[in-house]
Amino acid sequence: MEQFDVVVIGAGISGLYALHKLRQAGLKTRVVDAASDVGGTWYWNRYPGARFDSESYSYQYSFSRELIDEWNWSEHFAGQPEIERYLQHVTDKFDLRRDIEFNARVESVIFDERSRLWNVTTSNGLTLRATYVIAATGFLSAHQYPDIPGIGDFAGVSTHTARWPREGIDLRGKRVGVIGTGATAVQVIQTIAPQVGHLSVFQRSPNWCTALRNRPIDAETQQALKRDAEAIFARCNETYAGFIHKLDERNGSTIDKADRLQHYQTLHDRGGFALWLANYMDVFTNREIAQEVSDFLAAKIRERVRDPETAEKLIPRDHLFGTKRPPGETNYYEAFNHPHVELIDLRETPISRILPAGIETGDRLHELDVIIYATGFRAVTGELMRMHIVGEGGLTLAEKWHDGPKTNLGVQFAGFPNFFSVLGPHNPAAFCNITRCAENNVEWIVDCLRYLREHGHTSMEACPAAEEVWTQRCYDSAKGLLFSEVTDSWFFGYHNPGGDQGRYLIFTEGVPAYRRIFAETAASGYPGFVFR
């Protein structure tokens, strides 16, 4: 059995960077991944229309000037094929592949109390021993199918968006059903609508979308983005969610209504998450302001969708703008103007079952050749809970988190020494521009390992009391914010089975606050953690 200093689970954005940093720290590292190549999210989610909702140049890695200079993003919001190529380029450039084991889904991660080492077993029969384990498993990795009777009976082609086949699916002229209208579904629907023979969109809850305004990056902008790269990263580190969009420090309630409406239009025209993350500060706390932005968007939907009944169904009534992560759209609403695109409101007629010929709602059968499940993930805790993780005293992580996750700083869990999680529960990643948060979290974890070595400690783990405090702080971080009232989102583990449901899974004081807490914790010798 081969022994390593560190086993990293996952070869996505976080895992690749972790490998690079761990090597620099002189730690013998092995990365394992279930996929046949690098990319994580960007490996699995190759559905039509998959692309960034962060500006490409703000999402890229910041650690290598050479990498920034040599990579040209073709669009402001690059598509999945380009993102995957980028991650392969990074892998090759930094010679990462030789330390990655592919097609190796981790099945168990078990702490051996005698040796105080972790044993990691994989689906392809490997057992790796390591002093430290870093779960770089992402927070939207464990895809979920809905619990609908007959789901296995469908005679046509079906897939979850997060398992889109590499060879693709020929949708031209086909009768296609999409279940879901979250960020993934919006990207799929707007992309495939012009190609398919008939499209049935099965919507349970509409979402407030922001206009993406994707466009090519011209040569002059390309140069400017490279020149300003450090400033862009620095700005991201100072914004609430790690994006280039900075919240307006004014409260909308102090501004004239006409000026507010003009401001919404300016942000809407800017695109991306500007309307969400560069809006007035009180859009997250003031119901009237959030309602006004919602009304602004509802008017746009009514303008863009020709059939008034369909338009009304596409307007959310159960939550205000900004209280769920908004999908980025390009011609999403116009898709419903095609005569062959139909919106099925599942609140009126829920899906009763899936039959070999299609999807039944009420007493109507929607005959289909293809069903696309854009039904989301067991969010935030999902991949951690799928693995059989066993800590000290034989306690499994599933048992420990029976009533929802507990963590210190979203990185370590009491009873699981030397086990670290990069983007697990209770950190700001779910709101975040992932690469900005992943780099920050990986650097902090690698610094912990350096500290352990330099101080002759053999292990580090969260202290139970500190874990209680941090977990409560995460719950409190959402208090007073409007989205704390909207519990049917994945921020609250809405689609998760068991104890996550209704528990707030994210730290919401913002990325700068989190960075500050990380820095202060390290500078003062890691209070809240136990060393041996």
CA angle 370, 376, 377 (to 5 degrees): 130
Q: Does 316 bind ligand NAP (CB under 6 A)?
A: no
Footprint on residues 486-505 left by ligand NAP (CB under 6 A): 490, 495
Give the binding-site size for ligand NAP (rule: CB under 6 A). 23
Whichever of 467 and 500 has its CB closer to ligand NAP, that residue is 500
- Distance in angstroms (rounded) separating the CA atoms of residues 429 and 409: 12
End-to-end, the C-alpha distance of the chain in Å comes to 25
Q: Looking at 33, 53, 292, 360, which residue binds ligand NAP (CB under 6 A)?
A: 53
Whichever of 136 and 429 has its CB closer to ligand NAP, that residue is 429
Q: Looking at 91, 184, 435, 441, which residue binds ligand NAP (CB under 6 A)?
A: 184
Q: Does 178 bind ligand NAP (CB under 6 A)?
A: no
Q: Looking at 22, 100, 176, 185, which residue binds ligand NAP (CB under 6 A)?
A: 185
Q: Does 79 bind ligand NAP (CB under 6 A)?
A: no
- Distance in angstroms (rounded) separating the CA atoms of residues 145 and 376: 8
Stretch that binds ligand NAP, among 174-182, 224-232, 280-288, 454-462 (CB under 6 A): 174-182
Rounded to the nearest whole angstrom, what is the least distance from the CB of residue 154 to ligand NAP in the complex? 15
Whichever of 343 and 460 has its CB closer to ligand NAP, that residue is 343
Whichever of 34 and 201 has its CB closer to ligand NAP, that residue is 201
Whichever of 490 and 504 has its CB closer to ligand NAP, that residue is 490
User: Can you give the three-state secondary structure of 128-165, one letter per residue?
Assistant: EEEEEEEECCCCCCCECCCCCCCCCCCCCEEEEHHHCC
Q: Does 328 bind ligand NAP (CB under 6 A)?
A: yes
Rounded to the nearest whole angstrom, what is the least distance from the CB of residue 325 to ligand NAP in the complex? 4
Whichever of 375 and 471 has its CB closer to ligand NAP, that residue is 375
Rounded to the nearest whole angstrom, what is the least distance from the CB of residue 374 to ligand NAP in the complex? 6
Stretch that binds ligand NAP, among 25-33, 110-118, 179-187, 231-239 (CB under 6 A): 179-187
Give the residue among 530, 528, 509 at the shortest CA–CA distance from 426.
509
Residues with Cβ within 8 Å of residue 49, at least 6 apart in sequence: 79, 187, 188, 190, 191, 192
DSSP secondary structure of 237-298: HHSTTSSS---BSS-GGGS-HHHHHHHHHHHHHH-TTHHHHSSBGGGGT-HHHHHHHHHHHH
Stretch that binds ligand NAP, among 29-37, 163-171, 175-183, 258-266 (CB under 6 A): 175-183
Q: Does 183 bind ligand NAP (CB under 6 A)?
A: yes
Residue 469 Cα to chain centre, angstroms: 25
CA angle 346, 351, 353 (to 5 degrees): 175
Rounded to the nearest whole angstrom, what is the least distance from the CB of residue 316 to ligand NAP in the complex? 10
- Distance in angstroms (rounded) separating the CA atoms of residues 532 and 524: 17
Whichever of 66 and 147 has its CB closer to ligand NAP, that residue is 147
* Other beta carbons less than 10 A from residue 118's beta carbon: 26
Q: Using a CB cutoff of 8 Å and minimum separation of 24, what contacts does 217-225 make?
A: 217/56, 217/72, 217/73, 217/74, 217/75, 217/76, 222/72, 222/73, 225/57, 225/73
Q: Does 382 bind ligand NAP (CB under 6 A)?
A: no
User: Can you give the three-state secondary structure of 90-140, one letter per residue?
Assistant: HHHHCCCHHHEECCCCEEEEEEECCCCEEEEEECCCCEEEEEEEEECCCCC
* Side chain identity at residue 173, one-letter code: G
Strand extents, DSSP E, 15-116: 29-32, 100-101, 106-112
Whichever of 232 and 351 has its CB closer to ligand NAP, that residue is 351
Q: Does 376 bind ligand NAP (CB under 6 A)?
A: yes
Rounded to the nearest whole angstrom, what is the least distance from the CB of residue 48 to ligand NAP in the complex? 12
Rounded to the nearest whole angstrom, what is the least distance from the CB of residue 220 to ligand NAP in the complex? 26
Give the residue among 347, 371, 373, 372 at the shortest CA–CA distance from 361.
347
Give the residue among 438, 3, 525, 464 at the shortest CA–CA distance from 236.
438
Instruction: Give me the residue whose beta carbon is nearest to ligand NAP.
Output: 182
Q: Does 358 bind ligand NAP (CB under 6 A)?
A: no
Footprint on residues 254-273 left by ligand NAP (CB under 6 A): none
Q: Does 425 bind ligand NAP (CB under 6 A)?
A: no
Whichever of 79 and 417 has its CB closer to ligand NAP, that residue is 79
Query: Are 381 and 425 in contact, with CB atoms under 8 Å apart?
Result: yes
Footprint on residues 136-155 left by ligand NAP (CB under 6 A): 140, 146, 148
Whichever of 328 and 391 has its CB closer to ligand NAP, that residue is 328
Q: Does 506 bind ligand NAP (CB under 6 A)?
A: no
Query: Tokens 């769920």 appear where?
Result: 324
Stretch that binds ligand NAP, among 20-28, 184-192, 259-267, 453-461 (CB under 6 A): 184-192
Residues with Cβ within 8 Å of residue 132, at least 6 apart in sequence: 5, 6, 7, 27, 118, 418, 419, 420, 449
Rounded to the nearest whole angstrom, what is the least distance from the CB of residue 431 to ligand NAP in the complex? 9
Footprint on residues 193-212 left by ligand NAP (CB under 6 A): 204-205
Query: Are 100 and 34 in contact, with CB atoms under 8 Å apart?
Result: no
Give the interface with ligand NAP as residue ranges (CB under 6 A).
52-53, 140, 146, 148, 179-185, 187, 204-205, 325, 328, 346, 374-376, 490, 495
